[in-house]
Amino acid sequence: MRRDSIGQEAGECELYFLAGLATAPTFMEKLRTEMLTSMTDGRLVRSELLFPYGDWSRAVLPQLWEIRSDMRLRPERVTKSVGGNRALEAIRRQRALSPNRTASATTILIGHSGGGIAAVHAGQLLLEQGLSSACFVVTVGSPRCRIPHRLRPNTLSIHVAGRRGKRSLTKRKSPDLVSRLGTHGGWTLRSASMNGETEARRSFPLWNRDKHAPSTVIAVPIVGGHADYFRERSPYVDTNGKSNLEVTMDVILGWLSRRNQTSE
């Protein structure tokens, strides 16, 4: 695990990066170091890479089963999350190493692929247990999962933008297939009145595909697909000279800045 502690003048903030399936140990390290350099508006006290399902040294099949199980959890069953609880315990251990940490720290969780699911669940557990005063979650190329209501306003989902075909005027679906797995949906009871009367006569279930969706979903125009959000060298550079890492990071930092202004 890579970690840093940095003291700055404003409020305290802790930043965690959660990797997904069979990930290389340094896959998110460049994003972590660049984020540390860019975040100058708060006192960043802790930064660490987490592997809630293990890295590439662990067998893939058990990781797949754990991610699949977590992906299907309803919000009220987040306490059963495998990746969420592992991330929570890792955060607890690191906090124990910083005895001067204040209770007002803001927690930012950034997860790639299956790590995004663990980030959502860990964020909810931190809030439910009173372990963070505020929590912001960013999922990057992650399968869809049901976001708990309390976290929805502070959750950003990022996926690769679909590309317009040469013979088509409409954009195709995202080439990141992983981000198209799962669901944010849920059943909602819809009331219907008879003969125009205001009094509801009957209720029936209606599937709402966005019932548990994050408040913000952004498609990023990067080069490549699921494994390429954090690439920084050619050929992963756009026509403006910006690397995939820069494009992805700009979206994350811009969203965090807007959320910070909204919460003030």
**pLDDT of the residue at 98:** 75
Contact 33, 127 (CB under 8 A): no
Closest CA to 258 of 131, 108, 154: 154
Alpha-carbon Rg of the chain, whole angstroms?
Answer: 20
> Are β-strands 43-50 and 3-4 bridged in parallel, bridged antiparallel, or unpaired?
antiparallel
**pLDDT of the residue at 260:** 77
pLDDT along the chain (264 residues), means of 10: 45 91 96 87 78 97 98 95 98 83 78 98 96 95 97 97 65 89 90 55 83 96 96 95 97 91 66
Cβ partners under 8 Å of residue 217, min gap 6? 156, 157, 158, 159
**pLDDT of the residue at 263:** 64
Closest CA to 134 of 110, 103, 156: 103
Record the pTM.
Answer: 0.88
The answer as to CATH 3.40.50.1820 being correct for domain 13-163+172-180+212-261 is: yes
- The domain spans of the chain are 13-163+172-180+212-261
**pLDDT of the residue at 61:** 98
Tell me if residue 257 falls in helix, strand or coil: helix
Count the residues in the chain.
264
